[in-house]
């Protein structure tokens, strides 16, 4: 068997880096699915930017976080935080919302709350939101993408409250995302291995299969995704 060439070693390192990011996302969605087995969790739905997310009160690393964790709409202002990069990126496209757009919050015990966007703003990370109106909701994420320098804040005002949609609150469209990410990595990796020069192909194939096996294992036995991202944060320039 030929020794791996320098270029092959570089490719293997690149595959390992990609695999680490894939592992972070696989563990994110797998762990999130475990947390979301509680079907009584509230939910936020913004069809225009593809958001259909459970709201948790445990960690931002599980998706959309309700802060301070016990705030209840119609009783006090609702603050919802979400990542814009990695870990599912639930608020990746939050910047696309504009004045007049509407979205829903399904909240057990209260109902289906329909909100209309009344303001979007970008402020420093240390900015404190003057949330005092119980009919307000604030969607908060980082800005610009990939940086924690500022916060993008979308403010919505409550329009009406309707009956809770049990079908929507029980649905989890992200339940299979971990397996999908794993399958995509395996398929693309196998295709890449097939077209790789024959003399070093075995090394690429072995790397792809090992990483895929680890990803499949993480689908079944996930670990907190932040444990992975904390180790590779230097790859993001320390962000």
Give the residue extent of every domain in the chain.
Answer: 6-31+175-236, 38-170
Q: What band does 205 get if pLDDT is binned at 50, 70 and 90?
A: very high
| pLDDT at residue 239, rounded to an integer | 38
What are phi and psi for residue 112, nearest 5 degrees? -90, 110
| pLDDT at residue 45, rounded to an integer | 94
Q: How far is Cα 144 from Cα 151, in angstroms, rounded to an integer?
A: 8
Q: How far is Cα 104 from Cα 188, in angstroms, rounded to an integer?
A: 37
Question: pTM value?
Answer: 0.82
Of 164, 60, 154, residue with least CA distance to 100: 154
Lookup: tokens for 209 = 């299969």
Residue 39 has pLDDT above 70, yes or no: no
pLDDT tens string 125-134: 888 888 778 8
Count helices and strands (H / E) in the chain.
Answer: 5, 8
Helix axes 6-35, 201-220, angle to 10 degrees: 10
The CATH classification of domain 38-170, taken from the options 1.10.287.70, 3.30.43.10, 1.20.1440.130, 2.40.260.10: 2.40.260.10
Name the percent of the chain lying above pLDDT 70.
93
The reply to whether omega before 68 is within 30° of 0 (cis) is yes
| pLDDT at residue 192, rounded to an integer | 96
Span 181-209, mean pLDDT? 95
| pLDDT at residue 213, rounded to an integer | 97
Residue 114 has pLDDT above 70, yes or no: yes
Name the percent of the chain lying above pLDDT 90.
56
| pLDDT at residue 155, rounded to an integer | 94
Span 199-219, mean pLDDT? 95
Query: Of residues 168 and 103, which shows the higher confidence score?
Result: 103
Q: What angle is formed at CA 228 by the lines to CA 81 and CA 205, rounded to 5 degrees?
A: 125
Sign of the CA dihedral with 176 first, then 54, 127, and 138 last? positive
| pLDDT at residue 209, rounded to an integer | 97
Q: Residue 124 burial by CB count (10 A; 0-12/13-18/19+): exposed, middle or buried?
A: exposed
Residue 161 has pLDDT above 60, yes or no: yes
Span 33-43, mean pLDDT? 75
Q: Residues near 135 by Cβ (< 8 Å), separated by ≥ 6? A: 74, 157, 158
Q: What band does 236 get if pLDDT is binned at 50, 70 and 90?
A: low
Residue 235 has pLDDT above 70, yes or no: no
Tell me what the pLDDT averaged over the chain comes to.
Answer: 88
Span 188-193, mean pLDDT? 96
pLDDT tens string 53-111: 888 888 888 889 987 656 788 888 899 999 988 888 899 999 999 999 999 999 988 99
């Amino acid at each position: 068997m030929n020794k791996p060439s320098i270029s092959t070693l570089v490719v293997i390192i690149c595959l390992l880096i990609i695999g680490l990011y894939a592992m972070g996302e696989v563990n994110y969605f797998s762990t999130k699915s475990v947390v979301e087995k509680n079907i009584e969790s509230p939910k936020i739905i913004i069809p225009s930017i593809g958001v259909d997310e459970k709201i948790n009160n445990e960690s931002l690393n599980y998706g959309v976080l309700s802060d301070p964790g016990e705030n209840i709409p119609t009783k006090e202002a609702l603050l919802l935080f979400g990542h814009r990069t990695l870990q599912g990126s639930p608020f990746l496209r939050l910047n696309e919302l504009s004045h007049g757009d509407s979205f829903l919050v399904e909240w057990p015990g209260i109902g289906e709350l329909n909100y209309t966007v009344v303001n979007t703003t970008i402020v420093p990370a240390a900015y404190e939101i003057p949330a005092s109106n119980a009919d307000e909701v604030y969607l908060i994420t980082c800005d610009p993408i990939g940086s924690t320098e500022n916060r993008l804040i979308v403010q919505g005002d409550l329009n009406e409250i309707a009956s809770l949609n049990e079908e929507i609150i029980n649905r989890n469209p992200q339940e299979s995302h971990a397996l999908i990410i794993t399958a995509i990595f395996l398929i693309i990796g196998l295709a890449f291995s097939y077209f790789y020069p024959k003399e070093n192909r075995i090394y690429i194939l072995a790397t792809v299969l090992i990483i895929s096996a680890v990803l499949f294992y993480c689908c079944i036995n996930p670990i907190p995704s932040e444990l992975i991202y904390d180790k590779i944060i230097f790859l993001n320039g320390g962000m």
